[in-house]
Amino acid sequence: MLKWTIAESWRISCAFAREPGRLRRGHQRAALLRHVVTLALGLGALFVRGRALAHPLDEADWQRLLAADTVWGVAAGLWIISGLGRVFFGGKEPSFYWRNGLFWVKLALFGLVFALELTPMMTFIRVRLARRRSTTLPRFSVEAYRRINSAELVLVVAVVFVAAFMARGAWLF
């Protein structure tokens, strides 16, 4: 069984990107599996957060919502780190990305997800602080946050499709 640490994942992913033939088949599969698991965690967290926002929030729903929000934040952080690593330390030259139109579409979609997430992120941070201090929770429109969550789900799926075409060299200029 492979031990999953961030350093080991990074080493294997970078080595796989530079020289795929150098790594054992098991390491290649493990690197791919970690990317898929991170994607599943992020999408799953968004889905669970959306379900929690679908009805009035009781204590169990708040716990579910905040746990899902934390997992979503961790997955987003891992995507950012691995994306930067892929561009600057991966198997392709950075110029491959700068010359790929779909790379810019992917960045725009990710930027849109980030922009949409700013308000819920700040609100849920304030909610965590208020719950910790046993003070009044901040007011927010659950319906608006549910719509934001749904939009983020659609955009993350779109990012995955754009990334798949981008990795195959579509829309190079």
3-class secondary-structure state, position 172 = strand
State the sign of the Cα–Cα–Cα–Cα dihedral 28, 47, 156, 141. negative
The tokens describing 54, both together, are 């679908």
Q: Residue ranges of the chain with pLDDT lower than 50? A: 1-3, 20-23, 28
Flag whether 131 is in a domain: yes
Whether 48 maps to a domain, the answer reads: yes
Structure tokens at 118: 């700013």
Residue 173 lies inside a defined structural domain of this protein? no
pTM above 0.75, yes or no: yes
Q: Dmax over Cα atoms in the chain, in whole Å?
A: 57
- Does residue 17 lie within any of the structural domains? yes
9-59 per-position pLDDT tens digit? 556 555 555 554 444 555 545 555 666 778 889 999 999 999 999 989 999
Q: Is residue 172 part of a domain?
A: no
User: Which residues face 172 on adjacent strands?
Assistant: 100
Domain range holding 20? 6-167
Domain count, the chain: 1
